[in-house]
Every structure is written in C-alpha cells, then in structure tokens.
C-alpha cells in the first residue's frame, strides 16, 4: 500500500479530490474542486506529472469538475463540469476537444452533471444531480435518450450522484433517496 498527494494547492496536492480515472498510457487522472478546480495527472508510481484547468467558466476552466470517464476508443477524458453544467472532452494532455451541453432543464441540457460512464456502445451516460435524471449522449454530443425524473419509485431519482456499469446494466447512486438503483442496459423500462 502507498499513498500520494497531500492537502494543499500546489502541484500534486489536493483540495477535495472527487474522482480517479486511469488512462491508456498508465496515467492517473484526479479531479478536484474546492479551490483547485483542476485535473491532476500522476504516473503509476504516484509521481506528479502535470495539471490542467483552473477556476472559471471559460473553455479551459472548471467549476466543480466532478467525475471523469475515459473514452475506450480515443483515450480522451470526458469530465463532468458540474458548476458550469456541461461535459468537457479533453485529450490526456488537457487540450479541449469539445464542450457538450449547457445549463438548463430541456433534453440535451444539463443541470449539475455529476456521474459519467461509457456504455458498451461507446455512448456516455450522465447523472444529473439537478434534473434528477440520466441522459445518454453520443461522443459528439447528440442526445440518444433520457431516463428518469424526480421521485422515489423505481426508475425515478432524487439527486443521483454516480453511475457505474455492471453486466447487463447500470447501478446508480440515487443519493437523495438513500438507495442504489440497478437499471437494465439502457434503459428499457
């Protein structure tokens, strides 16, 4: 066992790390918010390599980078930028490729996107904390389907926080309802 990082604002330090993802070249990507608003990148041994992002709403900025999913085809990072209500695709070196969605309640818009995962079709599925739903997007940002809504019965959510892929479906952390929901492979209810 070993650890890396410490509390602080310097390179390789953390303020509220929120997610970890592993790149195709062995990189360890760590999202964090609470002041740093960036992605720290380490090698497999835990040595700091570089960071990207800063507090802001510009193309390079983040407000609460919450979760990271790595594209199985390109190796790019898809980052939920919760406070900016968007998903940002970046290369492993941090270059912005595209921004998906903007703030709102309509289909294709996001309100506090938290969890993100790639499915077996290479689509991204996003948990929206603010809209109490999941949205499935193509990697170029087109909406494929929407699922859920506010409520406490099966298939409805209250502030969903995270999503993970499991055989034949997904598990969603339905945080406000204090439960996990197992959903079939999107989203045949």
pLDDT score for 188:
43
Whole-angstrom distance, CA of residue 149 vs CA of residue 161: 14
pLDDT at 189 (0 to 100) = 37
Beta pairing partners, 62: 55
Check if the beta carbon of residue 85 is closer than 8 Å to that of residue 104: yes
What is the residue whose two structure tokens read 């890396």?
Answer: 4
Tens place of pLDDT per residue across the chain (189 aa) = 678 888 999 999 999 999 999 999 999 999 998 889 999 999 999 999 999 999 999 999 999 999 999 999 999 999 999 999 999 999 999 999 999 999 999 999 999 999 999 998 999 999 999 999 999 999 999 999 999 999 999 999 999 999 999 988 899 999 999 999 998 875 543
Residue 2 near residue 14, CB atoms below 8 Å: no
In the prediction, which pLDDT does 187 show? 54
Q: Is residue 140 within 8 Å of residue 104, measured between CB atoms?
A: no
* Phi-psi group of 97: left, alpha or beta (phi > 0 → left; psi -120 to 50 → alpha; rest → beta): alpha
What's the pLDDT score for residue 33?
A: 87
Res 184: pLDDT: 84
Residue 186's pLDDT is what? 58
Q: How far apart are CA 146 and CA 26, in angstroms?
A: 33
């Amino acid at each position: 066992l070993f650890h890396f990082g410490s509390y602080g604002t310097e390179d390789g330090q953390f303020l509220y790390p929120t997610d970890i993802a592993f790149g195709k070249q062995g990189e360890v990507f760590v999202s964090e918010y609470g002041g740093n608003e960036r992605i720290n990148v380490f090698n497999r041994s835990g040595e700091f390599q570089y960071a990207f992002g800063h507090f802001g709403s510009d193309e390079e900025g983040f407000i609460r980078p919450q979760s990271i999913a790595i594209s199985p085809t390109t190796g790019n990072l898809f980052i939920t930028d919760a406070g900016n209500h968007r998903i940002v695709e970046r290369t492993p070196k941090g270059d912005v490729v595209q921004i998906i969605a903007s703030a709102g309640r309509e289909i294709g818009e996001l309100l506090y996107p938290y969890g993100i995962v790639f499915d077996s079709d290479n689509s991204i599925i996003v948990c929206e904390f603010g809209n109490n739903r999941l949205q499935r997007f193509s990697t170029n940002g087109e909406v494929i389907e929407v699922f859920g809504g506010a409520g406490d019965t099966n298939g409805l959510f209250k502030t969903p926080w995270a999503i993970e892929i499991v055989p034949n479906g997904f598990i969603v952390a339905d945080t406000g309802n204090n439960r996990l929901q197992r959903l079939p492979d999107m989203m045949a209810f």
